[in-house]
């Protein structure tokens, strides 16, 4: 069985955050390489924010305390790298968030990170998630 290399990171303004890819995703990838059927969607559809403070773990299945969920503004995929973008205009609500997650359409958490975000009602916020999956040696 080949090794699977994964990484998840977020860029919010000038700050970079390391995240974790969940075990649900890793198990689905194992199934792909073993040629079993995959029963979970790995296509990102939403980015959610919350106020939870526990450290991000591969065993997470949800955010600790989700407060906002936004559909992706843009999704691109190329050579094992998926980039998910949410653009929140100045007219959107202000909030403070300490956790961020990427979710599939069915609600499966794909990746999670601990962050520090303070968006005011007058600010624009771009949240960019980069998920990288590759087969190792």
Task: Calculate ∠ Cα 35-36-40, nearest 5°.
Answer: 120
pLDDT of residue 2: 57
Q: Which of 120, 128, 123 is nearest to 100 (CA)?
A: 128
Name the pTM for this structure: 0.84
pLDDT tens, position by position, 3-22: 667 888 888 878 898 898 88
pLDDT of residue 38: 60
CA distance 94 to 66: 15
pLDDT tens, position by position, 35-81: 656 666 778 999 999 999 999 999 999 999 999 999 999 999 888 78
């Amino acid at each position: 069985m080949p090794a699977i290399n994964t990484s998840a990171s977020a860029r919010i303004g000038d700050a970079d955050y390391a995240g974790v890819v969940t075990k649900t995703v890793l198990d689905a990838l194992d199934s792909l390489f073993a040629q079993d059927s995959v029963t979970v969607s790995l296509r990102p559809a939403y980015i959610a924010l919350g106020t939870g403070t526990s450290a991000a773990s591969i065993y997470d299945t949800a955010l600790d305390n989700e407060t906002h969920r936004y559909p992706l503004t843009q999704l691109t995929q190329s050579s094992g790298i998926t980039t998910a973008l949410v653009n929140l205009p100045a007219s959107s609500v202000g909030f403070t968030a300490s956790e961020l997650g990427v979710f599939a359409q069915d609600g499966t958490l794909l990746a999670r990170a601990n962050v520090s975000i303070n968006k005011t009602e007058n600010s624009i916020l771009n949240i960019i998630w980069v998920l990288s999956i590759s087969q190792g040696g």
